[in-house]
Amino acid sequence: MKKIITFLFIFVYATCYSQQHNIDSLKFLLKTAKEDTNKVNILDQISKNCIATGDYDSTLKYAVLENLLAEKLNFPKGKATSLSRQGSFYYAKGHYLKAISYFLSSVKILKQIGDMNSVIKSYNLVGNIYYDMGNYPKAISYQTLSLKISEQINDTEGIGRCYNNIGNVFQMQGNYPEALKNHLNALQIRQQLGDKYGIASSYHNLANVYTFQENHKQALKYYLTALKVFKEVGEVRDVSTCLMEIGATYSKLKNYTEAIKFSSEALQLNTQSGDVRRVGEAYSKLASIYFKLQNYPEALKNNQEALRHAGDIGDQTLKAEASLNTAAIYIELKEYDKAIKYLEEGLSLCKEVGYLEGVKVANDMLSQANEIKGNYKLSLKYFKAFVTTRDSIYNEENTKQMVRSEMNFDFAKKEAVTKLEKRRLADQNQIQLLQLERRNYSLLGLAILLIIIVITAWLVLQQNKLKSQQKAIQLEQKLLRSQMNPHFIFNALASIESFIYENQPKEAGRYLSDFARLMRLILDNSVSEYITLEKEIKTLEYYLSLQKLRLENNLIYTIDVDDHLDPNDVQIPPMLTQPFIENAIEHGFRGSKQTGKVEISFHLQSDNLVVIVKDNGIGINKAAENEKQKKHKSMAMQITKERLAALNKSKKQKLSFSISDISGENSENTGTKVVFSIPL
């Protein structure tokens, strides 16, 4: 069974890869497509492929774009298909009534343009949605309407599909003879067409009928046949359904080991596919098995999960079954009040959706629970209702009709086979099997190759990601060390200490408060990629005021902000200019006889924020010569280059900076000018 799941995963992956490749190709065509019906069709194909890959948000996006262009071009077919895609989106999201509205709106346009094949498919979908909602009268109404149109246009495949869907509805209503009759009709048509998926679906539905009639050995036979064919055609959703049904059937045959095995594998497949309804069904099946094993805590746990999932999607039938199963657990636990509450709720839901089997079970259990509680009148009332429902399901006429329908089918099948050319049929079957086998091997090989490529790419990406993270951490540490220069911290604290000794507590307190705020801002900013301009200016003011104190007021600084800039709206990397200000103070002003001066300006130029830092030091060239003779080495240039390289990786418009020696521009002045350009 693990091999089956592995193969299904490979098949799904290969299919999704192919569909994603189609999407990428279509998006490429979309870029150069003209505003005509061809572009509408491209948008429709992208939306359709997005449904298949599970990208429902993109499904809606391209369907809406398709609708807008179709409206503009007055292209009815495009309008109809876009509405259908939007209906598929809401169906996948569980918004059933909204989905029905979109499908029926599409039908109006399709009828006008005479596209009856699409009308049939839309009515089938509407019928299926009502089926999922548990509204069986509405479901059978739309499926019958679809059958009528299929017969009018002689659509054999559509007729088979309609018989199948109508049989499902009759089955849920407890009308087993009609259910069997429709499923046998569908199977006969699909065998004539050689429709493997349809044949598997019909076998599965026949098994369901026998399950409801409690002929579990016959049901298991049909389920296993259906599972085999579904695996051949690679239908994952249907395989998961068969697994659940086989698990439940083994449970009824008291083979609980096999029951848990098949049901657990079904839950795993459904969870991977994200199908909420089927996940709820799988939990319900497991709950029933654990109940039979008398593991009531595990049964109650799984059943509550089934109720939760049923409530999430508004599935009344699943909710009814889960309510009855929960009641059965509470009866075994002798908590009869809780059991009666769930039974009454379940009975109401079963009646609402026309689920006769559920009505029968609910009446039986309510009769037993009320008898135990001493409510004999109620017990008798529910027992009578139980007998009436049971007799309507299992009467002799039903059984005769089932046997007659099956005999008629066998006779028709033998007669049809006799008329066919057996030799030609055998040759064709052999060719089809060889082609299918070759295709399966090709798909398997392609899937394995794709998996190897994906795993290799993933490992390379992970390695690069780890390297980038390590580099970012190292850069952050370098930046933090540059901002929290030990020499600066020591001198700043020493200056504050001198105020204390000189009995200037107010000045000492003010500068100590500025120092604490600066340290906090530096630590806060160091973990952020961008901060507001206002926060950056505040940090620079604290930093420069403390530098001024340390240099005994032998420093003048100005910070100029363009009137067109709102400091609260503009975002820049934190402390981008600080390393260069530190360079000016530590290297540029040494050897200079004049008072140190730092000018910082922020102004708007086109769509860029331009930041300029100027000082009147000895200039970058002279400072570089002095630096060679000392142990201290400035990290400003290196850190800034690394930071900008990291920030520019994910941006189209790049951050840039330049540094120049003012001494080279004007022999009368000295100093350094640093210019940053930051796209807004």
Q: What is the mean pLDDT of each run of 10 residues along the chain (680 residues)?
A: 37 44 73 81 82 75 86 88 87 84 90 89 89 86 90 89 88 83 91 89 87 87 90 82 87 89 87 81 86 89 86 80 87 88 87 83 88 87 86 61 50 50 66 79 85 87 72 54 56 71 76 84 79 91 85 87 89 86 78 82 90 87 69 66 79 84 70 90
- Angstrom CA distances, 271 to 249, 268, 279, 328, 509, stand at 21, 5, 6, 26, 62
- 401's CB contacts (< 8 A; 6+ apart) are 177, 180, 181
Region of residue 334 (phi > 0: left; psi between -120 and 50: alpha; otherwise: beta): left
Whether residue 143 lies inside any domain: the answer is: yes
Would you give the end-to-end CA distance of the chain in angstroms? 57
Contact between residue 584 and residue 672 where contact means Cβ atoms under 8 Å apart: yes
Could you give the CA distance from residue 267 to residue 285 in angstroms, rounded to a whole number? 9
What is the per-residue pLDDT for 349? 86
Q: Identify the three-state secondary structure at position 590.
A: coil
Whether residue 548 lies inside any domain: the answer is: yes
Q: Which domain holds residue 60?
A: 28-114
What is the per-residue pLDDT for 600? 94
What is the per-residue pLDDT for 487? 54
Residues 102 and 140 in one domain: no
Whether residue 569 lies inside any domain: the answer is: yes
- Angstrom CA distances, 61 to 67, 109, 172, stand at 10, 21, 36
Residues 532 and 648 in one domain: yes
**Boundary-marking domain end, from 170, 187, 221:** 221
Give the E-state strand segments of 14-91 in sequence order. none
Helices (H) and strands (E) in the chain, counts: 28, 7
Could you give the CA distance from residue 107 to residue 76 in angstroms, rounded to a whole number? 11
- Angstrom CA distances, 307 to 96, 298, 300, 335, stand at 19, 14, 10, 19
Residues 102 and 146 in one domain: no
Residues 186 and 51 in one domain: no
For residues 490, 493, 499, 500, the Cα torsion angle rounded to the nearest 10 degrees is: -120
For residue 168, what is the domain's CATH number?
1.25.40.10
Angle between helices 156-172 and 136-152 (to 10 degrees): 160
**Boundary-marking domain end, from 204, 221, 238:** 221
Residues 170 and 100 in one domain: no
Whether residue 300 lies inside any domain: the answer is: no
What is the per-residue pLDDT for 475? 52
Domains identified in the chain, total number: 3
Closest CA to 597 of 634, 549, 660, 544: 544
Residues 45 and 194 in one domain: no
Tokens 């067109």 sit at which residue?
564
Residues 496 and 608 in one domain: yes
Residues 79 and 160 in one domain: no
**Boundary-marking domain end, from 221, 245, 262:** 221
For residue 110, what is the domain's CATH number?
1.25.40
Whether residue 535 lies inside any domain: the answer is: yes
Angle between helices 176-193 and 396-419 (to 10 degrees): 10
Could you give the CA distance from residue 515 to residue 546 in angstroms, rounded to a whole number? 7
Could you give the CA distance from residue 449 to residue 14 in angstroms, rounded to a whole number? 10
Q: Identify the three-state secondary structure at position 330.
A: helix
Q: Other C-beta atoms within 10 Å of 214: how many?
A: 11
Q: Tell me the whole-structure pTM to 2 decimals.
A: 0.41
Q: How deeply is 147 buried, as exposed, middle or buried, from its count of CB atoms within 10 A (0-12, 13-18, 19+)? A: buried
Contact between residue 176 and residue 393 where contact means Cβ atoms under 8 Å apart: yes
Residues 517 and 654 in one domain: yes
Residues 156 and 39 in one domain: no
Whether residue 98 lies inside any domain: the answer is: yes
Residues 84 and 139 in one domain: no
Whether residue 419 lies inside any domain: the answer is: no
Contact between residue 611 and residue 577 where contact means Cβ atoms under 8 Å apart: yes
What is the per-residue pLDDT for 468? 65
For residues 80, 86, 90, 96, the Cα torsion angle rounded to the nearest 10 degrees is: -10
Could you give the CA distance from residue 515 to residue 524 in angstroms, rounded to a whole number? 14
Residues 206 and 108 in one domain: no
Whether residue 274 lies inside any domain: the answer is: no
CA atoms within 13 A on the CB side of 197: 9
- 576's CB contacts (< 8 A; 6+ apart) are 536, 611, 640, 643, 676
